Amino acid sequence: MSTTAETLKPMSMNSMMSGLAEPSLPEGISWIPNAPGWYLVIGIIVCFALYRAYLAYRQYKANAYRRIALQELEKLQKSSDGLERLPQLLRKTALDAYPRNQVSPLLGEQWENWLDKQCQGCQFSTQFNGLLASLSYSPNASINQQQSQGLYTQTAHWIKHHEVRHG
């Protein structure tokens, strides 16, 4: 029994395999496409990616006024006279987004209704009826803490979500 175990040891098998040659590995597969149609597909994909990047950049640039307005809103929230300047910020943001002849003539209820129409979920004309006008024209408008916080929140919502077509 011990002789059979000795004959199957790897040492004795090497002599039998010494005449065998290791097969060579095949050459690596090239990632460069062989068919010209693939160059067309790659070109179309690259053009599409560049076009999408251009659209994203254009959208980013078109919404710069929103980012500036939100920064200004943060400053107003920390300021003591922030509430009095809030209607000016809304008007300035609207003038940045829409044509002047559409925004300038709006006052009072018309202004609040227009703001609500431009942004779904805004309630300037219902929940905060007359509040923007009183802040604009009355130096010491009496507004409680809950109303002022709600007005800041509503203004931030309008700045972020109003719908405008950038051409």
Please give the Cα distance from 152 to 82 (Å, whole number). 10
| 157 touches 122 (CB < 8 A) | yes
Most confident of 25-29, 37-41, 104-108, 135-139: 37-41
Residue-averaged pLDDT of the chain: 84
User: What's the structural domain count of the chain?
Assistant: 1
Determine the pLDDT at residue 9: 54
What band does 7 get if pLDDT is binned at 50, 70 and 90? low
User: Which tokens in the block code for residue 95?
Assistant: 């003038």
Q: Is 7 left (phi over 0), alpha (psi -120 to 50) or beta?
A: alpha
**Does residue 13 lie within any of the structural domains?**
no
Q: Does some domain include residue 22?
A: no
Q: Is residue 66 situated within a structural domain?
A: yes
**Per-residue pLDDT, 30:** 84
Rounded to an integer, what distance in angstroms lies between the CA atom of residue 14 and that of residue 19? 9
**Is there a domain that residue 23 lies in?**
no
Identify whether 107 is part of a domain. yes
Distance CA 1, CA 18 (A): 27
Q: Is residue 21 part of a domain?
A: no
Is this structure's pTM higher than 0.85? no
Domain assignment present for residue 41? The answer is no
Q: Which two tokens stand for residue 128?
A: 């905060």
| Percent of the chain with pLDDT strictly greater than 90 | 35
Cα torsion at 96, 105, 122, 58 (round to 10°)?
Answer: -20
Expressed as residue numbers, the domain containing 72 is: 62-161
Among residues 121, 124, 153, which one has the least CA distance to residue 136?
A: 124
Residue 42 pLDDT greater than 90, yes or no: yes
Q: Lowest-pLDDT range, 53-62, 130-139, 153-162? A: 130-139
Q: Is the pLDDT of residue 41 over 90?
A: yes
Calculate ∠ Cα 130-111-103, nearest 5°: 155
Is 80 exceeded by the pLDDT of residue 43? Answer: yes
